[in-house]
Structure 1
Amino acid sequence: MALERLEALLGQLTDPEIPVISLREMGILRAVRQAADGQVEVVITPTYSGCPAMSQIADDVAAALRQAGVDGRVVTQLAPAWTTDWMTDEAREKLRAWGIAPPACASAGPATPFQLTRRKKTTGGSLGDAGPAVPCPQCGSRHTTEISHFGSTACKALYRCLDCLEPFDYFKPI
């Protein structure tokens, strides 16, 4: 099977935690290449250190290779580290439609430890430098508050909209 066809096939695999987004759209599927020994290598990069979904993702990729009749292996590559900037615009829209606020652009620089521990309660702009407002994926309001720095998974924070009162996850930028 040609690498391009295999890459297209693997690009259809979805994130086990967010099944509406493909591994390609998330930026997890990094490369499909021919190794020096002739085997196909599929390179994946975890979104977060210790992400529990990575073993399932590797298993899904290996199963797809077997189903395609391809002798290959899955390689987990840690460097360069994954960043939310690798997510496609389609992934961000799918997150919003799924009820998860997509991450802000991380390329502006990572949050400092001070910003992570001294986050103000309300991000609607009324309490000063609480950082950029996280828009509610349900109603679009920027009048939101962080309930917990950890949401349904470590890569998300739990927020609540103060207008529609709905809780929602925010995918943290890194």
Structure 2
Amino acid sequence: MSTVTPLRGAYAIAATVTDPELPMLTLADLGVLRDVSECDGRVIVSITPTYSGCPAMDTMRDDLVHALRAAGFAEVQVRTVLDPPWSSDWISAEGKRRLAEAGIAPPGQAPTRSGGPVPLTLGAPVRAVRCPYCGGPETEQLSRFGATACKALYRCHSCVEPFEYFKEF
């Protein structure tokens, strides 16, 4: 029978891997890195995608395997964990700070769900989004999607700068 024990060293290495779409964030800051453990000499890393079909998952997996093998861990397995689904509330305070420093408005609190199906809303949600550059509250959404599906494109009325907003999930 095998025992599963957390590896501090392996976790520390995995926690330094950055998100390929948001390189200012580590997978740990983004809340995607769920668990790192060792079982029978193999490092097992669990990650959760920010949304179903996230195209960055393959790169995240490859980057984790590469970083851990480079640190001396010969056998590395990366598992995708879908339950519970990822929430933007899992982004660390440091991660939200780094997003804002990079000109991406961080998400607010995610909608609360009590389990069961996700409620369907037919209209676009109206968000009060502050500008990450000047802090101005008067902004407008230009596009529901930015460079990635998890971001929207906004413009500030005060400084007239466009910026991305990381959506709540």
Which bin holds the TM-score, normalised by the shorter protein? Answer: 0.7 to 0.9
Partner of 1:113: 121
Cα distance, 1:78 vs. partner? 1.1
Structure with a larger share of its residues in strand? 2
- Residue aligning to 2:53: 50
1-structure distance, mates of 2:71, 2:11: 11
Q: Aligned residue for 1:73?
A: 77
Runs of 5+ consecutive residues of structure 2 not aligned to the other structure? 1-5
Q: 1:23 aligns with which of 24, 27, 39?
A: 27
Q: Is 1:163 matched with 2:158?
A: yes
Residues 111/163 of structure 1: CA separation in 2 closer, same or farther (3 Å cut): farther
Structure-2 residue corresponding to 1:32: 36
Alignment deviations for residues 27-69 of structure 1 (CA, whole Å, 9 cap, x no partner): 011000123x542200011111111111110000011121122
Q: List gaps (5 residues or longer) in structure 1.
A: 120-129
**TM-score w.r.t. length of structure 1:** 0.85
SS of the residue corresponding to residue 61 of structure 1 reads helix
Matched, 1:4 2:8: yes
CA distance 1:112–1:145, shift in 2 (3 Å): farther
* 8 A contact 1:16–1:56 mirrored in 2: yes
1:122 matched to which residue of 2? Answer: none
Aligned residues: 159
More helix by share: 1
Instruction: Give the letter aligned to residue 173 of structure 1.
Output: E
Secondary structure, aligned partner of 2:68: helix
Is residue 145–residue 153 contact of structure 2 (8 Å, CA) maintained in 1? yes
What is the CA–CA distance in structure 2 between the aligned matches of 1:46 and 1:22, rounded to whole Å?
Answer: 14
Structure 1 segments (4+ residues) deviating >6 Å: none
Letter in 1 for 2:21: E
Counterpart in 2 of 1:149?
144
TM-score between both structures, scaled by the size of structure 2: 0.87
Greater relative contact order, per chain length (Cα 8 Å cut-off, separation 6+)? 2
Q: Deviations over 1:79-111 (max 9, x none)?
A: 110000111000001000000000011154588
CA contact (8 A) 1:85 1:107 kept: no
Of residues 94, 100, 106, the one that matches 1:90 is 94
- Cα distance in 2, alignment partners of residues 105 and 141 from structure 1: 19
